[in-house]
């Protein structure tokens, strides 16, 4: 299993719902967690490791949650702009405007349907990762101008780091 970087076709394709034995998903999730830790991430979706299935993980080094067939059933009217990164876009940080809170529905690894209201960082990560399962990446959620500025910043950082650009 390897991290997929943009531009890769799989990052643009809507995923297929999980309807199989959850043991497979749990195994995938374990490997994805290793990759997430190595890359200092807080979320990682299946397409980002080359799996065209509707699930992702979110969490930290110690613990993580596996979310399958993620849905968002309600968006708060209030929106907030927060800086996001993405493991498939190394060193690219973009301020993205999104609803602050969301009501979500997903299936956990016991096959149970979970309904929750998410706020703060958890809401943000869920929205970013759920987008991945629909073939949507964060660079498409901002204007060309904002994206160009973020890309310039990234190139400057790489130049400073002595990386060939």
Phi–psi pair at 130, nearest 5 degrees? -65, -35
Query: Which residue sits closest to Zn ion, CB atoms considered?
Result: 86
Q: 129 an active-site residue?
A: yes
Nearest 5°: CA angle at 116, between 18 and 50? Answer: 30
- At 27, list the tokens: 């195994």
Query: Which residue, 69 or 132, has its beta carbon nearer to Zn ion?
Result: 132
Find the binding residues for Zn ion in span 85-114 (CB under 5 A).
Answer: 86
Residues 62, 83, 129, 151: which is the catalytic one? 129
Return the half-sphere exposure (C-beta side, CA atoms, 13 A cut-off) of residue 76.
16
Specify the length of the chain in residues: 165
Q: How far is the CB of 103 from Zn ion (least distance, A)?
A: 22
Query: Which residue, 86 or 130, has its beta carbon nearer to Zn ion?
Result: 86
Find the binding residues for Zn ion in span 70-89 (CB under 5 A).
Answer: 86
| Catalytic residue numbers, as ranges | 129
Residue ranges in contact with Zn ion by CB under 5 A: 86
């Amino acid at each position: 299993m390897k991290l997929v970087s943009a531009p890769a076709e799989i990052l643009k394709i809507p995923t297929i719902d999980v309807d199989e034995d959850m043991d497979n998903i749990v195994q995938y999730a374990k490997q994805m967690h290793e990759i997430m830790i190595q890359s200092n991430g807080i979320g990682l979706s299946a397409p980002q490791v080359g799996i065209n299935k509707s699930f992702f993980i979110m969490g930290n080094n110690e613990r993580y949650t596996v979310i399958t067939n993620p849905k968002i059933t309600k968006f708060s009217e209030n929106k907030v702009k927060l800086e996001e990164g993405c493991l498939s876009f190394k060193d690219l940080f973009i301020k993205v405007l999104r609803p602050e809170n969301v009501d979500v529905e997903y299936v956990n690894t016991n096959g149970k349907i979970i309904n929750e209201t998410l706020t703060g960082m958890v809401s943000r990560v869920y929205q970013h990762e759920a987008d991945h399962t629909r073939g949507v990446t964060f660079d498409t959620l901002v204007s060309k101008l904002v994206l160009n500025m973020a890309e310039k910043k990234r190139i400057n950082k790489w130049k400073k780091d002595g990386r060939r650009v």
